[in-house]
Amino acid sequence: MARQRIRTGIASLDDEWGGFPQGRTVLLTGDTGSGKTIFSLQFAYSSCAQGLRTAYISTEEDIEDLKDQAGAFDWGKDDWEAKGLLSFVDFSSKRMSEISTSIEISVDLQKGNFDSLFAAIPIYVQTVIIDSLGNQTAHLSVTEFKGRFDLLVHSLHRRDLNTLIVLDSAISTTYNDLALFSAYGALRLSKHDNPFTGQRERVMDVVKMRNTRTQLQPLVFKIDHQGISIVDTMESKTTKK
């Protein structure tokens, strides 16, 4: 039986796949400025539009800044927060408090523990975005990271949550590879120069998506007033082999 899907809000992906597999964890990695937060916000708003209660957990950016960023796009006029479908969870303030305390008492920060992230997910939500996991990995060995990440994915799956986890490419390559292996699906965003046009482009690589037919060629995408959309051009099919 085919697994139900959650639309991403990106038309080409939704038309081709139907969206992300329901109740699974998808990893989103990418360079700074590649569009990870916009992708995450677009997915959050799409989830709300499908009537799913959604939580956006921010470990780095100020919540008001995130709301301002989302307001710059034409994702509908519905006030999902007022309707109880969208909640923003400020995890960055907690992290700053921990850093301040550790400096005052001259001790190292506690090794990253993803349990606190999982505990921050409201009990009533169906979709969760964690943006991002990177700053929670401090002082972790490779073995510790794998164990904590696997447990987090398992816990999310047991709650049947539709999950998008963001992990910056600047984090250890080994961490990224382990996370890619454990997640149900994985996308990588990047920027490169198109040798055919000489233009700088944003590219989305579908690293894997279980139970889904995906193409091997990376997808060129743009960011405009509608958010992220796939560019259907001949160049996008021939820039990478």
Distances (CA, A) of 192 to 8, 55, 198, 229, 234: 24, 32, 10, 17, 16
92 or 86: whose pLDDT is higher? 86
pLDDT tens, 9-35?
Answer: 999 999 999 999 999 999 999 988 899
State the DSSP string of 27-64: EEEE-TTSSHHHHHHHHHHHHHHTT--EEEEESSS-HH
Among 82-86, 131-135, 201-205, the range scoring the smallest mean pLDDT is 131-135
pLDDT of residue 239: 39
Residue 111 confidence (pLDDT)? 59
Quick one: pLDDT band at residue 236, thresholds 50, 70, 90? Answer: very low
Q: Higher pLDDT residue, 106 or 90?
A: 90
Instruction: Please give the average per-residue pLDDT across 146-175, as a whole number.
Output: 91
pLDDT at 103 over 70: no
| 5-238 is classed CATH 3.40.50.300 | yes
Percent of all residues in the chain with a pLDDT value above 70, rounded to a whole number: 86
pLDDT per residue as tens digits for the range 116-126: 899 999 999 99
- Asked if residue 138 has pLDDT above 80, the reply is no
Q: Write the pLDDT tens digit of every residue in 43-55.
A: 999 999 999 999 9
Q: Is the pLDDT of residue 237 over 80?
A: no
pLDDT value for 79: 92
Higher pLDDT, 160 or 239: 160
* Mean pLDDT calculated for residue range 171-179: 82
Confidence band, pLDDT 50/70/90 cuts, at residue 94 = low
- The full set of domain ranges for the chain reads 5-238
Q: For residues 239 and 144, which has the higher predicted lDDT (pLDDT)?
A: 144
Helix or strand run (H / E) with residue 90: strand 86-90
Which of 65-73's residues contact partners 24+ apart within 8 Å by CB, and which partners? 66/37, 66/41, 69/37, 69/38, 69/41, 70/41, 70/44, 70/45, 72/225, 73/38, 73/41, 73/42, 73/225, 73/226, 73/227
